[in-house]
């Protein structure tokens, strides 16, 4: 197995389980697809190959634990209307459902491929992809089959909205034949627990049916207003609950006590003009916080975790180090992954080299393409693929 030594690392952000988060003047050795050694440059062991990074910073590859990449169509007109003062309405999801049902498998696959490329160029090395714009047995199963070509972290979101007809009958469909067809392609099951989507009993029914099929639960909750979704996620011991924009003290206590990760999606608040979630309050209460893009055509059409990190620092009270951790190590935890998100021996050698001396520049220099190169499994992505 061949080894590569990366030198000239001005600052190496590791988020290592033991030891400091950040090392200065560091080096890293990769052996095959994993990290073999991390430490001060002066103590670096020899390797088959040597790459001098010329004083750049290195961080773990971003882990985007929440995205909806399988869709067709465009909702930029809705965005323009929101920027002119209209409110976000989750009902816009149905517009994308119609376009997605009309697209061919090849069109959907090509579109997901383009978005994954976009993510890679911005440093995302692990990502989750949900279904949820098909909402028929056939269209949910094929959405997940497309997603599974790009990631193992696939999530069945048949319970996104009720596409048409009677809600109770739709929940029967989601928990019955749709789940049967989707489960072979999915690792996770999710539901949108919100007024206008699914209530807490319906969300519970979907998560329990998913669990009976071997799928693990995650949940969209408390995005558009207060509600019982976050407490349901805590009660069921889900690994993560996502959005968490409107929380009361009981919600925060429940998250702390359950250990459920609060995944915040600041691209949504940027794009809907809602108030940002209060990450500081959660962190100070001892809740674990992840950040993800929620990349979707309605509420957050960004694929950029650097952008989300900058928003989290500017608008949600996180330090730059906390925000980068939330988009790497805690994002990995939100997918229950212990092989990525951290740079220490034994982890996958997935990392991002920044055209900057420190990870702080991700927030300090918003909108600047700072990703110099991306390495996945010990190999550089060139060109990005």
Three-state DSSP state, 190 = strand
Residues in the chain, overall count: 385
Smallest gap from Cβ 273 to ligand NIG, in A, equals: 14
Residue 231 or 361: the one with the smaller Cβ distance to ligand NIG is: 231
Contact status: 299 vs ligand NIG (CB under 6 A): yes
Smallest gap from Cβ 271 to Fe ion, in A, equals: 12
Spatial distance between the Cα atoms of 320 and 362, rounded to a whole number of angstroms:
8
Contact status: 245 vs ligand NIG (CB under 6 A): no
Contact status: 296 vs ligand NIG (CB under 6 A): yes
Contact status: 303 vs ligand NIG (CB under 6 A): no
- Tell me, by CB under 6 A, how many residues bind ligand NIG: 13
Binding to ligand NIG in span 150-169, by CB under 6 A: none
Both ends of the chain: CA-CA distance in Å? Answer: 23
Contact status: 220 vs ligand NIG (CB under 6 A): yes
For strands 371-376 and 379-380, give the pairing: antiparallel
Smallest gap from Cβ 264 to ligand NIG, in A, equals: 12
Q: b vs e for 327-343, b when ≥16 Cβ sit within 10 Å of the residue's Cβ?
A: bbbbbbbbbebeebbbb
Q: How many other C-beta atoms are found inside a 10 Å radius of the C-beta of residue 385?
A: 9
Smallest gap from Cβ 266 to ligand NIG, in A, equals: 12
Residue 153 or 294: the one with the smaller Cβ distance to ligand NIG is: 294
Contact status: 268 vs ligand NIG (CB under 6 A): yes
How would you write 265-308 as a 3-class SS string? Answer: CHHHHHHHCCCCCCHHHHHHCCCCEEECCCEECCCECCCCHHHH
Smallest gap from Cβ 53 to Fe ion, in A, equals: 35
Binding to ligand NIG in span 190-209, by CB under 6 A: 192
Residue 93 or 171: the one with the smaller Cβ distance to ligand NIG is: 93
Using CB under 5 A as the criterion, which residues of the chain lie in contact with Fe ion when the complex forms? 294
Three-state DSSP state, 49 = strand
Kindly write down the DSSP assignment for every residue of 131-167, as one continuous string.
--S--SHHHHHHHHHHHTTT-SEEEEEEES---SS-H
Residue 155 interacting partner from Fe ion, ligand NIG, none (CB closer than 5 to 8 Å by kind): none
Binding to ligand NIG in span 77-136, by CB under 6 A: 90, 92-93, 96
Binding segment (CB under 6 A) for ligand NIG, from list 289-297, 313-321, 338-346, 357-365: 289-297
Residue of 142, 159, 306 whose CA lies nearest to 229: 159
Contact residues: ligand NIG, CB under 6 A: 90, 92-93, 96, 192, 220, 223, 268, 294, 296-299
């Amino acid at each position: 197995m061949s080894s590569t030594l990366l030198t000239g690392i001005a600052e190496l952000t590791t988020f290592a389980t033991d030891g400091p988060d950040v090392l200065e003047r560091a080096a890293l050795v990769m052996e095959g697809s994993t990290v073999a050694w991390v430490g001060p440059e002066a103590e670096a062991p020899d390797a088959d190959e040597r790459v001098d990074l010329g004083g750049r910073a290195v961080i773990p590859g971003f882990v985007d634990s929440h995205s909806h990449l399988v869709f067709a169509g465009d909702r930029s007109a809705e965005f323009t209307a929101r920027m002119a003062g209209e409110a976000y309405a989750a009902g816009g999801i149905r517009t994308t459902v119609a376009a997605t049902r009309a697209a061919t498998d090849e069109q959907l696959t090509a579109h997901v491929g383009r978005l994954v490329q976009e993510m890679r160029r911005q440093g995302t090395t692990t990502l989750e992809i949900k279904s949820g714009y098909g909402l028929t047995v056939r269209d949910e199963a094929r959405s997940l089959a497309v997603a599974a070509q790009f990631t193992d972290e696939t999530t069945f979101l048949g319970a996104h909205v009720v596409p048409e007809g009677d809600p109770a009958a739709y929940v029967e469909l989601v928990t019955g034949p749709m789940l049967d067809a989707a489960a072979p392609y999915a690792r996770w099951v999710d539901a949108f627990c919100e007024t206008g989507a699914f209530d807490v009993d319906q969300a519970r029914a979907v998560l329990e049916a998913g669990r009976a099929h071997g799928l693990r639960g995650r949940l969209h909750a408390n995005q558009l207003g207060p509600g019982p979704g976050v407490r349901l996620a805590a009660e069921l011991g889900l690994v993560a609950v996502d959005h968490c924009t409107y929380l009361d003290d009981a919600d925060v206590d429940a998250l702390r006590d359950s250990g459920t990760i609060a995944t915040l999606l600041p691209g949504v608040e940027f794009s809907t003009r809602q108030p940002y979630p209060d990450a500081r309050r959660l962190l100070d209460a001892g809740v674990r916080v992840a950040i993800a893009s929620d990349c979707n055509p309605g509420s957050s059409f960004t694929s950029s975790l650097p952008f989300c990190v900058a928003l989290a620092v500017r608008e949600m009270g996180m330090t730059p180090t906390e925000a980068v951790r939330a988009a790497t190590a805690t994002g990995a935890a939100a997918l229950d992954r212990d092989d990525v998100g951290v740079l220490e021996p034994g982890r996958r050698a997935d990392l991002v080299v920044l055209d900057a001396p420190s990870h702080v520049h991700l927030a300090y220099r918003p909108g600047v393409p700072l990703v110099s190169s991306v390495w996945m499994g010990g190999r550089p992505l060139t060109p990005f693929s």
